[in-house]
Amino acid sequence: MTPFQALYGYPPPKVQLYLPGSTAVHEVDQQLKDRDSLLAMLKQNLKKAQERMKHFYDKKHTERSFIVGDWVYLKLQPYRQHSVQRRLVHKLSAKYYGPFEIVQKIGSVAYKLNLPATSKIHPVFHVSLLKKKLGQHVVVKPHLPPEIDPDNPRKRCSRN
């Protein structure tokens, strides 16, 4: 349903192309020619805008797909979804949680995950919120990097 039809309750009138010379009045002839050129320009501008939006979408878009049984990390907004892991300072919380196993593929861009029983969020997520787990083991660095001396950035401080 078009917005016009939703507002007025009937479909909008069809705009017929003007056939030059079908009217005897010069002013009407000129207005109909102007209307047709305006409609053609609007269609051209809409097409150009759609192509520009498609270009920028394709430039950053990466096609992702997973299969059932894959392990993925889940990106959550910590200030909205607290049931996976609670933190006192939300902006310092992890970006990704998991890994979680994919249980089912729903449609072409949604996946159902095997979340913990304690989580209170819906288990179906869009593909943009998932990141594939690579490798079998997670490598954790046991020590933090040494701090940098603010007075002399090239000299490292020792923490004692």
- Look at residue 86 and tell me if it is in a domain: yes
Tell me, yes or no, whether 54 and 80 share the same domain. no
- Look at residue 148 and tell me if it is in a domain: no
Tell me, yes or no, whether 57 and 75 share the same domain. no
Per-residue confidence (pLDDT) for residue 37, from 0 to 100? 92
Is the model more confident about 155 or about 74? 74
Determine the average pLDDT of the residues in 62-91.
74
- Look at residue 155 and tell me if it is in a domain: no
Tell me, yes or no, whether 57 and 76 share the same domain. no
Tell me, yes or no, whether 82 and 126 share the same domain. yes
When divided into structural domains, the chain yields a total of: 2
- Look at residue 150 and tell me if it is in a domain: no
Tell me, yes or no, whether 57 and 77 share the same domain. no
φ/ψ of residue 87, rounded to 5: -130, 150
Tell me, yes or no, whether 57 and 86 share the same domain. no
d(Cα 75, Cα 89) in Å, to the nearest integer? 17
The answer to whether the predicted template modeling score (pTM) of the entire model surpasses 0.75 is: no
SS3 22: coil
Tell me the pLDDT tens digit for each residue of 13-47.
888 888 877 888 889 889 989 999 999 999 999 99
Structural domain boundaries enclosing 35: 1-61
- Look at residue 42 and tell me if it is in a domain: yes
Tell me, yes or no, whether 1 and 56 share the same domain. yes
User: Which helix (H) or strand (E) segment is 30 a member of?
Assistant: helix 26-60
Q: Which of 61, 79, 108 is the last residue of a domain?
A: 61
- Nearest Cα neighbor of 17 from 41, 4, 35 is 35
Tell me the pLDDT tens digit for each residue of 92-145.
767 788 788 999 999 888 999 998 887 778 889 999 889 888 877 654 444 434
